[in-house]
Chains A and B, each alone.
Chain A
Amino acid sequence: MKRNWWKIFCVCLLFLTLFAGLLVPLAPGLITAESSAKSTFSGPFTVKVFGYNTHFIDGKNAGAYLINNGVNVCATSFRAIDNTHLELDFPPITPLAEPVFSLSVYNDVDGKLIMPSAISTTDTTRGGIVPTCRPDVKVEKQDHFAFPFRYILYESMRNLFFHVPMWFTMIALLTWAFWNNLRFLKGFNLKYDQIANEAVNTSLVFGILGLITGSLWARVTWGAWWVDDVKLNGTAITMLAYLAFTVLRNAIPDEQKRARVSAVYSIFAFVMMIVLIGILPRLQGTDSLHPGNGGNPAFSNYDLDSTLRPFFYASVLGWILIGFWIYTIRLRILKIKTHYEK
């Protein structure tokens, strides 16, 4: 029991991840807004709004307005068809600066929802008379606990708890392998070689899982199974390097020699991984779709807000622990095997 407390901890964390990750609802948000006319100036126009998890009917004190250059234009009529469909009428207006309007819909249940650049107009005239109004927003933010609403991602944002920790687990196991490679080279004790080998083997499982799940997620959000992204290419190369590591191990029959040569190569591969995953994607100006790359702040407030953060850390820790659990089992089998072979 004393030795296994961390396994219980791991199971608890993964259960927390599973329940929170799948059961916490997504915050309401606006998905599409479609204007009936291409020009907003030629006459009154209707905007059809499609929301997600919204309460257009149930929410009291509801209203909507368009925003252009800081000036608000309120809807003249607010017709909720159901909780997620809405029709809004607006008077003819011209934009002050750019020909795009942001849309804001509010009610007491959902709070204020904003969709940036919701409607564009073909008008070339600027700065005409813009009818303004003061929207009467009573509740700024919805009060129940929910994950943030992100355009395009929607519910798939929950993959943050399942796809991303795969990479963390892989990197944790590879770091452990790297450390043991160093320890092996210090005293040529084969024990450390076994540890490093099993850690790499286990990390490959998580790496492959990360690649498959990532490509699935990419298909849904980015539209392709494989996109040209620094981080993707970097991880693919890392996987290649560690697969080469296993090939190398099979090519050398002598135990001591195999351990030495593979330790050297593994250290090489680890340093390359640091460069590929840690440094190259963070260079300013490299294009990446992943958060935290190409000059994007890593897991900033936008990417990982306070509702996601604790569960994310819990899930990362949980998956890393399960990775180490698998690794210890494999290591024990190897130890028994070598014991009997002697």
Chain B
Amino acid sequence: MQLLFQIISLVKREILLEQRNKYAFWGLILFVVSTVFVAKFSFQVIRDIPVWNALFWIILLFAAVTGVARSFAQESRGRLLYLYTLADPRAVLLSKMIYNILLMVFLGFSGLFIFSFLVGYPIQNNTLFFTSLLFGCTGLAVAFTMIAAIASKASNNFSLMAILGFPVVLPLLLASIKLSKYAADGLEWSGAFKYLGVLIALNIVISTLAYMLFPYLWRD
């Protein structure tokens, strides 16, 4: 119960931090918009489903890397240490995770809005696509939060984050791209269930692993 309260107040703190320096958030939005514009200028309208899928998920992937990488890097060592003494370190991790999930889901759906507004929307099964987008974004956020925690222990550079993150995220991306393809083809749910299962299972596995392993990670 105490953990829950800690998490809630820590998430509030994250949102407050985000409000204090808005440039990072708007930078992210700008990143998404500009990449979508590049796609718009080169393709006009994308009718080819695999291309649409690939572009959309690549934009989301890089948005996730840039967006989530800050979560541990933006805090100074002293401030993190202070947080760890105030609250359970797991609560810190979970709060960052939850905040990143909110951020990624927001980015995913707003990105989808801009993307479909500019380059077309070939999806037929909407609910399936939204579900896959939801869990895909959650997975990206969860995995990259953990990787950011790991990378923050090692000189914190962006390239290391990418190197460490991509292998962990690739199965998630594979499953969500498959799901989006199902949704784009307007197929029924029955065929998509196993990939949805994989996606949700990966979410659960990564977040439990992160929760279990973080106590070993945060100490300096």
Give chain A's interface residues, CB within 8 Å of chain B: 185, 233-234, 237-238, 240-241, 244, 247-248, 251-252, 257, 260-261, 263-265, 267-269, 271-272, 275-276, 279-280, 283-285
Contact of A268 with B168 at beta-carbon distance under 8 Å, contacts A247-B163, A252-B154, A261-B154 already known: yes
Q: State in angstroms the CA–CA spacing of A257 and B153 once bound together.
A: 8
Q: State in angstroms the CA–CA spacing of A237 and B166 once bound together.
A: 9
CB distance from B105 to the nearest CB of A (A): 23
A residues less than 8 Å from B155 (CB atoms): 251-252
Is A284's CB under 8 angstroms from B153's CB?
no
Is A271's CB under 8 angstroms from B209's CB?
yes
Interface centre among B155, B168, B205 (most CB of A within 10 A): B168
CB distance from B213 to the nearest CB of A (A): 5
A residues less than 8 Å from B154 (CB atoms): 248, 251-252, 261
Besides A237-B167, A247-B164, 17 more A-B contacts (Cβ < 8 Å) are A237-B170, A238-B167, A240-B167, A244-B164, A244-B166, A248-B154, A248-B160, A248-B164, A257-B220, A261-B150, A261-B154, A261-B217, A264-B216, A268-B146, A271-B209, A283-B195, A285-B194
Is B194's CB under 8 angstroms from A283's CB?
yes
Contact of A265 with B171 at beta-carbon distance under 8 Å, contacts A247-B163, A248-B160 already known: no
CB distance from B136 to the nearest CB of A (A): 15
Is B167's CB under 8 angstroms from A260's CB?
no
In the complex, the chain B residue whose C-beta lies closest to that of A186 is B216
Is B171's CB under 8 angstroms from A275's CB?
yes
How many residue pairs between the two chains, A and B, have CB atoms under 8 Å in the bound complex? 78
A residues less than 8 Å from B78 (CB atoms): none
Q: State in angstroms the CA–CA spacing of A267 and B143 once bound together.
A: 13
Contacts A/B (CB < 8 Å), 6 sampled: A248-B164, A251-B154, A268-B146, A271-B209, A272-B171, A279-B198
Q: State in angstroms the CA–CA spacing of A252 and B164 once bound together.
A: 14
A residues less than 8 Å from B213 (CB atoms): 185, 264, 267-268
Is B217's CB under 8 angstroms from A260's CB?
yes
CB distance from A134 to the nearest CB of B (A): 47
Is B202's CB under 8 angstroms from A275's CB?
yes
A residues less than 8 Å from B153 (CB atoms): 252, 257, 260-261
Is B205's CB under 8 angstroms from A271's CB?
yes
Q: State in angstroms the CA–CA spacing of A237 and B155 once bound together.
A: 24
A residues less than 8 Å from B198 (CB atoms): 275, 279-280, 283
B residues less than 8 Å from A272 (CB atoms): 167-168, 171
B residues less than 8 Å from A261 (CB atoms): 150, 153-154, 217
Is B164's CB under 8 angstroms from A265's CB?
yes
Q: State in angstroms the CA–CA spacing of A285 and B182 once bound together.
A: 13
Is A247's CB under 8 angstroms from B160's CB?
yes
Give chain B's interface residues, CB within 8 Å of chain A: 146, 150, 153-155, 160, 163-164, 166-168, 170-171, 174, 191, 194-195, 198, 201-202, 205-206, 209, 213, 216-217, 219-220
Q: State in angstroms the CA–CA spacing of A234 and B202 once bound together.
A: 15
B residues less than 8 Å from A263 (CB atoms): 216
B residues less than 8 Å from A257 (CB atoms): 153, 220
In the complex, the chain A residue whose C-beta lies closest to that of B217 is A264
The 10 residue pairs across chains A and B that have the minimum distance between CB atoms: A241-B167, A251-B154, A240-B167, A261-B153, A264-B213, A252-B154, A244-B163, A237-B170, A244-B164, A283-B194
Q: State in angstroms the CA–CA spacing of A247 and B147 once bound together.
A: 14
In the complex, the chain A residue whose C-beta lies closest to that of B194 is A283
A residues less than 8 Å from B194 (CB atoms): 283-285
Q: State in angstroms the CA–CA spacing of A263 and B214 once bound together.
A: 11
Q: State in angstroms the CA–CA spacing of A265 and B209 once bound together.
A: 10
In the complex, the chain A residue whose C-beta lies closest to that of B208 is A271
CB distance from A67 to the nearest CB of B (A): 36
CB distance from B50 to the nearest CB of A (A): 12
Q: State in angstroms the CA–CA spacing of A261 and B150 once bound together.
A: 6
Interface centre among A257, A268, A279 (most CB of B within 10 A): A268
A residues less than 8 Å from B209 (CB atoms): 267-268, 271
CB distance from A302 to the nearest CB of B (A): 25
A residues less than 8 Å from B150 (CB atoms): 248, 261, 264-265
B residues less than 8 Å from A276 (CB atoms): 171
CB distance from A188 to the nearest CB of B (A): 9
B residues less than 8 Å from A271 (CB atoms): 205, 209
B residues less than 8 Å from A251 (CB atoms): 154-155, 160
Contact of A260 with B216 at beta-carbon distance under 8 Å, contacts A248-B150, A252-B154, A279-B198 already known: yes
CB distance from A241 to the nearest CB of B (A): 3
Contact of A240 with B166 at beta-carbon distance under 8 Å, contacts A252-B153, A285-B194 already known: yes
Interface centre among A260, A265, A267, A275 (most CB of B within 10 A): A265
A residues less than 8 Å from B220 (CB atoms): 257
CB distance from B168 to the nearest CB of A (A): 6
Q: State in angstroms the CA–CA spacing of A268 and B217 once bound together.
A: 13
A residues less than 8 Å from B160 (CB atoms): 247-248, 251
In the complex, the chain A residue whose C-beta lies closest to that of B220 is A257
